[in-house]
Amino acid sequence: MTDANMSKSGAVPVPRKSLLQPDARTKRRNSAEARFRAYGLAAVGIGVLALVMLLVSIVGTGSGAFKQTYLTIPVHLNEAKLDKKGDRELANLKKVTTIGYAGVLKTSLNDFLAQEGIEIDGLSDKDAGKIISKEAAATVRNAVLADPDLIGTTQDFTLLANGRIDGYYKGRVTMDSAELDGNVTPEQLMLADALKERGLLKTKFNWAFLIAPDASDQRPEAAGLGVAILGSIYMMLTVLILAPVIGVAASIYLEEFAPKNRWTDIIEVNISNLAAVPSIVFGILGLAIFINFAGMRASAPIVGGLVLTLMTLPTIIIATRAALKAVPPSIRDAGLGLGASKMQSVMHHVLPLAAPGILTGTIIGLAQALGETAPLLLIGMVAFVREYPAAWSPESGLFGEPSTALPVQVFNWTQRADPAFVERASGAIIVLLIFLVAMNAVAVMLRRRFERRW
Amino acid sequence: MNDMRIMERDVDVNEIKIAARGCQVYYADTHAIKDVDVDIEDKTVTAFIGPSGCGKSTFLRCLNRMNDTIDICRVEGEIRLDGEDIYDPKVDPVQLRAKVGMVFQKPNPFPKSIYDNIAYGPRIHGMAKTKADLDIIVEKSLRRGAIWDEVKDRLDAPGTGLSGGQQQRLCIARAVATEPEVLLMDEPCSALDPIATAQVEELIDELRSQYSVVIVTHSMQQAARVSQKTAFFHLGNLVEFGETGQIFTNPVDPRTESYITGRIG
């Protein structure tokens, strides 16, 4: 048909369009799409940038926590000071406190400096002694109590350097800042430099950060995550055993067996709501039920684990139900059609197919539980704990000894005054992140394993 | 289709396997099946035909109580298998379904190996004492499903990796592995190409020697090809039930005639 024909028949003539020439409408659509892509890219960019900034800032501040400055000096374990009676009786040896040992250390250090010919102008013997951490006295005392025969001999001890001296080698303390600092003098730093030149002061990998318990405000150099990591592991074990079992059982029942009526609707709505309840509310619940009502011990990892289980359950139930819903009904029919019972059909066919989704939900729930702080504050896991909690003891039962947890330790350390604790807190965050990444890696691996079969 | 052959089949008269009387099915308030009476004979292929939504699949699913899995579905009336009411409260649907096997519209092999697909039914029903027994059952079933030659070298391969037609024959083999007495097939060829369809139809004809087969189909040609008895459903009513030859050549009810000549449906 030609244009002439069309106008004759009264229709509006339509100009012939070339495919090589995009029309205005197409151009508008294309530019809208281009804009949308740009927004999307920008959104992803912001996310990535935030992540990079977070990682840079945390690794920047926290990586120092994995190195620690140690000082190696010969210590003369003076019998007159440490064992006045000379009978090596443990009860008597214990009467000498760390203050006594601090004196011995100070004398030994000054004797050693004199012997090595290190002399710093304006540095008193007392100030020189302060370059050793307050923790060192306890280290030596423990060594002596373990082996009283050491008394009277001279032993080489590798001891923690004071936090400020450590900070000097990590850039936190400078000669200028030391001038203004009441806790360290430039002369002490010079002494440290002199010892470093002789190879007696070394910065080593800080295993103690990962295995030592927490330390008091005055000794950031000695503070470690041992108790917190142990507490977190105990709690995660509790959650890992309880939450998936209860969660998956509840989901299977609700999804596959429960009749669809008003009661199950109410339960469903409540589970969804529970997932959105602030975690601190679970802390109050745990305090009321497990500690006040059931009389369990405060600060115990078992209580923390139970609270976190309650908190994790909605997440696991929602994820599991979604995974079960995603299994095609034809698989259930196939099982039932062969004369399998409902439970056989679910256990043999539906559950294996839903397993990857269930695992993902469980690991997300666990990761959430691992990083949770608020409910633990309410059940007393914020306490200062020096003793490693035993997994089981006759008095306190399973996971019943007081401990703390990784996120709570971070919270704790960020509250302390000494800037060295900022570094420790960031280091603890790195450890926490490593745990999370490891857990997610396990989740991904398990998923792959389950999915690869088919 | 050769009409002579259809007529030939009329000769055998078999005993009645399933008898439905006054069967009603409701989905909540919808009356899906209205007062259906039907006798399904042993060693016979019975076809259910009718337009979409006429209730033929619903009725088929009543025969092994698969409708029990739908909460809002309610069945009334009487369906007897070998004289026993299958809706009697004492009947365990699990036991019933072992006797009345089912093949579905979409091939639905389990995401397991071919071997495990077949062995699943015999395993849960304790039909094999030893691994050797099970091997025999698996081979016999795959042979009956006319798929043995294609899969005998890869019994460990996943069943989901087969082609559509092979999957459907696998599902049929899986259904016969539990030694059912009745085999229900819900549009077993609707997802298959003509070649696979021909293979499945041939298989259905072979299965007739041992089982009572009930097949739901949208294809009238298929019904004419494979069945001896045909039931025509329309809007939840069983309009006409009789010899396949008679239904297709000389229908009694005008609705049946309209449907098979393509005027309704």
The nearest CA of chain A is from the CA of B188 a distance in Å of 13
Block residue for tokens 């088929």: B60
The nearest CA of chain A is from the CA of B74 a distance in Å of 14
What is chain A's Cα-based Rg? 33
Tell me the CB-side half-sphere exposure of residue B124, using CA atoms within 13 A: 26
Mean pLDDT, residues A44-62 taken together = 95
Instruction: Judge: A338–B111 Cβ closer than 8 Å, yes or no.
Output: no
- Given this model, what pLDDT does residue B68 score? 84
At residue A11 the predicted structure's pLDDT band, cuts being 50, 70 and 90, is low
Count other C-beta atoms under 10 Å from residue B201's C-beta: 21
Which of these, A420, A250, A447, A261, lies nearest to A354 by C-alpha position? A447
Q: Is residue A453 over pLDDT 80?
A: no
| The domain boundary residue, chosen from A204, A236, A271 | A204
Asked whether residue A118 is domain-assigned, the answer is yes
Closest chain B residue by Cα to residue A343: B94
Residue A392 and residue A298 in one domain: yes
Report which listed range, A115-129, A239-253, A391-405, B90-104, is most confident: A239-253
Residue A135 and residue A248 in one domain: no
Mean pLDDT, residues A168-180 taken together = 89
What's the start-to-end Cα distance of chain A, in Å?
57
Mean pLDDT, residues A131-144 taken together = 90
Instruction: Indicate the length of chain A as a whole number.
Output: 454
Residue A245 and residue A380 in one domain: yes
Among candidates A259, A330, A339 on the partner chain, residue whose Cβ is nearest the Cβ of B97:
A339
- Given this model, what pLDDT does residue A13 score? 74
The nearest CA of chain A is from the CA of B251 a distance in Å of 34
Question: For residue A122, how far is the Cα from the chain centroid?
Answer: 44
- Given this model, what pLDDT does residue A452 score? 56
Among candidates A260, A331, A339 on the partner chain, residue whose Cβ is nearest the Cβ of B110:
A331
Asked whether residue A29 is domain-assigned, the answer is no
Residue A122 and residue A247 in one domain: no
Q: Is residue A233 over pLDDT 50?
A: yes
The SS3 call for residue B13 is: coil
- Given this model, what pLDDT does residue A7 score? 47
Structural domains in chain B plus CATH codes: 15-260 (3.40.50.300)
ipTM: 0.85
Distance CA B166, CA B162 (A): 6
Distance CA A296, CA A255 (A): 34
Question: Which DSSP category does B235 fall into?
Answer: T
- Given this model, what pLDDT does residue A402 score? 87
Residue A329 and residue A198 in one domain: no
At residue A343 the predicted structure's pLDDT band, cuts being 50, 70 and 90, is very high
B34 in Cβ contact with B24 (< 8 Å): yes
Asked whether residue A292 is domain-assigned, the answer is yes
Mean pLDDT, residues A248-271 taken together = 92
Q: Provide the edge-to-edge strand list for the sheet that holds B182-186.
A: B100-103, B182-186, B212-216, B45-49, B229-234, B237-243
Q: How many domains does chain A have?
A: 2
With a cut of 70, list the residues of chain B below it in pLDDT.
Answer: 1-13, 264-265
Residue A185 and residue A254 in one domain: no
Residue A382 and residue A272 in one domain: yes
Mean pLDDT, residues A161-171 taken together = 90
- Given this model, what pLDDT does residue A348 score? 92
The amino acid occupying position A121 is: D
| The domain boundary residue, chosen from A172, A204, A236 | A204
Q: Which two structure tokens, joined as six digits, stand for B117?
A: 């697909």
The amino acid occupying position A94 is: K
Asked whether residue A39 is domain-assigned, the answer is no
Q: What is the pLDDT of residues A83-94, one digit of tens each?
A: 888 788 888 888
Count of A-B CB contacts under 8 Å: 71
The amino acid occupying position A323 is: A
The nearest CA of chain A is from the CA of B2 a distance in Å of 34
Chain A interface disruption, residue of B27, B96, B120, B137, most A CBs within 10 A: B120
Dihedral in degrees, nearest 10, Cα atoms A309, A259, B62, A339: 30
Q: What is the pLDDT of residues A302-322, one digit of tens each?
A: 999 999 999 999 999 999 999
Residue A278 and residue A399 in one domain: yes
Asked whether residue A60 is domain-assigned, the answer is no
The SS3 call for residue A361 is: helix
Residue A310 and residue A419 in one domain: yes
Chain A interface disruption, residue of B64, B71, B108, most A CBs within 10 A: B108
**List of chain A residues whose C-beta atoms are within 8 Å of the C-beta of residue B103:** 337
Q: Which two structure tokens, joined as six digits, stand for B43?
A: 């060693």
Asked whether residue A9 is domain-assigned, the answer is no
- Given this model, what pLDDT does residue A87 score? 81
Residue A300 and residue A416 in one domain: yes
At residue A6 the predicted structure's pLDDT band, cuts being 50, 70 and 90, is very low
Mean pLDDT, residues A177-198 taken together = 89
Residue A183 and residue A246 in one domain: no
For residue B48, give Cα distances in angstroms to B57, B63, B148, B191. Answer: 8, 13, 29, 18
Instruction: Judge: A340–B94 Cβ closer than 8 Å, yes or no.
Output: yes
Count other C-beta atoms under 10 Å from residue A31's C-beta: 10
Residue A180 and residue A271 in one domain: no
Task: Provide the CATH number for the domain around residue A245.
Answer: 1.10.3720.10
At residue A81 the predicted structure's pLDDT band, cuts being 50, 70 and 90, is confident
At residue A265 the predicted structure's pLDDT band, cuts being 50, 70 and 90, is very high
Distance CA B211, CA B205 (A): 10
What is chain B's Cα-based Rg? 18
Cα angle vertex A64, ends A68, A123, to 5°? 50
Instruction: Judge: A336–B121 Cβ closer than 8 Å, yes or no.
Output: no
Question: Which DSSP category does A70 fall into?
Answer: E
pTM: 0.82
Q: What is the pLDDT of residues A108-119, one digit of tens each?
A: 999 999 988 888
Chain B interface disruption, residue of A265, A332, A338, A342, most B CBs within 10 A: A338
Asked whether residue A212 is domain-assigned, the answer is no
A71 in Cβ contact with A158 (< 8 Å): yes
The nearest CA of chain A is from the CA of B148 a distance in Å of 20
The SS3 call for residue B240 is: strand
Q: What is the pLDDT of residues A206-226, one digit of tens each?
A: 999 999 999 888 889 999 999
Asked whether residue A335 is domain-assigned, the answer is yes
Residues of the domain holding A321? 226-450
- Given this model, what pLDDT does residue B265 score? 58
Distance CA A254, CA A12 (A): 63
Closest chain B residue by Cα to residue A256: B69
Distance CA A374, CA A428 (A): 17
B88-121 as b/e: b if 16+ CB within 10 A: eeeeebbebbbbbbbbbbbbbbbbbbbbbbbbbb
Look over chain A and give the mean of its residue pLDDT values, rounded to a whole number: 89
